[in-house]
Structure 1
Amino acid sequence: MLSTVLCFAAVSLLDVWSYWPFALLVVVIAPFYEWVAHKYTLHLPLKQEAGFIRRYQIRLHHGHHAEPERRDLQFAPASAIFLMFVQFYLSYALVAWLFGVNGWEAAFVPCLASLVYYLAYEWIHLAHHTSSYNPLTSWGRNMREAHMRHHFHNENFNWGITNGLGDKVLGTWKDIDDVPRSPTAKSIAGYQH
């Protein structure tokens, strides 16, 4: 939340609101970024050797599949969020530069949009894992059901958290009858808690 406030302040102080169209990048890439990050980063094969990287992978996501009800494993560690936003900022700055504008300043606009999106992402993910919460819309119910299928039926499908566009376009949106139950849904990459 503090990052969002600081980024909002940077956009205001630099007076770069005129670069608002760059915020549309977030809307376009978010469903696919979610899909790619979940599939190729969070489900990365677990390091076999004990050490920092293995512990970090377990904290980042493998532990969440093993114990999806644990609140402390439902949110990404601050270091992962920091690294993700450094990546975003540099990528947005490059895109803005390619459009012939001051990328170092313009990048704050899509970064702000990304921070707002990320806050929504975390709340939606939390709602998916809160049994007492009843989604208010059919979209919310569909996303929650898809996420529960990912956790408890087959971890190789339904990668989206906030929406299923990436899954639908890339062919991984599956109903429970579409794919067999996976014996490793709670032990991705062989992790056992």
Structure 2
Amino acid sequence: MSGTLNNSSLKTGRSFDLGKMNLRQLWVAYLTYPTILLYFALVIASAALAAYFFAGWWPTLVSLVAVVIVYPLVWYLLHRYVLHGRILYKMKWTAALWKRIHFDHHQDPHLLDVLFGAPATTLPTIGAVTIPIGYLIGGIGAAATAFGTGVAITCIYEFFHCIQHLNYKPRASWIQRMKARHVLHHFHDEDGNFGITSFVVDRIFGSYYLDAKARPRSPTVFNLGYDVKEAQQYPWVMDLTGAPPRDRPDGARPAENRKAA
């Protein structure tokens, strides 16, 4: 793991490796993590605003349900076509953004510091999607409900996302299946299983796969296509990382290569 990748940890003084944590440690880390605490505060503030500008029970309920339905589709489209796209790293002014919001996560899937989305990018996106929906349904009150719902869903997504990278076997079979599909996305073929808590949209768009036998292993599963050749042509992400992109995690490299590094 490069020193640059851990800059966020050095700045906050906190670094968590989910591959070495148990469920209790995750709960402590999750419930004290600054980004999650900010989300909790925003959910409470949104609820207060929704109560102050109360739109009525039906508009409030409809706006909540609408966000619950729309959110997985929006996440899927962003995940598949933006985060896994190759446009952002090809432009100098968006290279750092792409590196932070997804490349680092695929380079080291167990690092909690880069698993959580940065509020500077997640919150404007949540607002742009949810607030217009709520406002059209019931004005300011419903808009606050919609935004708060979007942030609450994000908290749920982030927790289950942690579970999927945690050194822990869930007791519930449905969480085991969810985790298994996401692990395939990170360690077998990144061009599928884009969902986090649900893979319904993956099924609709034909990107769902059940197990490793369903398709060959992708050579770009850890670098998202930003390999050494791409880095030579578009060097900005590599410059920020301080090292060439890896095609496998540090722990998966042969022992002699790890010693050489």
Residue 2 of structure 1 is matched in structure 2 by: 41
Aligned Cα RMSD in Å? 1.7
Q: Which residue of 1 aligns with 2:236?
A: none
Q: Mark the CA change 1:115 to 1:15 in structure 2 (over 3 Å): closer, same or farther.
A: same
Q: How far apart are 1:147 and its partner, in Å?
A: 0.6
* Length, aligned pairs only: 186
Give the equivalent residue in structure 1 for 2:76. 35
Structure 1 unmatched ranges of 5 or more: none
Equivalent pair of 2:54/2:141 in contact (CA under 8 Å)? no
Instruction: Return the match for 1:47 from 67, 80, 89.
Output: 89
Q: C-alpha separation between the residues in 1 aligned to 2:56 and 2:46?
A: 12
1:112 maps to what in 2?
A: 148
52, 56, 59: which one aligns with 2:100:
59
Letter paired with 2:126: F
Residues in 2 aligned to 1:69 and 1:110: alpha-carbon distance in whole angstroms: 31
Q: Which has the higher helix share?
A: 2
Tell me which moved more, 15-24 or 5-14: 15-24
Shift of 1:165: 0.9
Deviation at 1:187, TM superposition (A): 0.4
- Whole-angstrom CA distance in 2 between matches of 1:180 and 1:39: 19
Q: For 2:47 and 2:131, how far apart are their aligned partners in 1?
A: 17
Once residues 90 and 160 of structure 1 are traced to their aligned partners in structure 2, the CA distance between those partners, rounded to angstroms, is 23
Aligned partners of 2:122, 2:56: CA distance in 1, in Å? 24
Shift in alpha-carbon separation, 1:176–1:17, aligned structure 2, 3 A: farther
Q: 1:126 maps to which residue?
A: 162
Q: Which residue of 1 aligns with 2:190?
A: 155
Post-superposition CA distance 1:22-80 (Å, at most 9, x none) = 2111222232222112101211214235x441011000001111111111110101111
SS in 2 for 1:177: helix
Structure 2 runs not aligned, ≥5 long: 1-39, 228-244, 247-261
Tell me the percent identity.
Answer: 25
Aligned: 1:183 with 2:222: no
Instruction: State yes or no: 1:141 paired with 2:176.
Output: yes
- SS of 1:172's equivalent in the other structure is coil
Q: What is the rounded CA distance, in whole Å, between the counterparts of 1:17 and 1:127 in structure 2? A: 37
1:82 lines up with 2:117 in the alignment: no
- Distance apart, 1:88 and its partner CA: 2.3
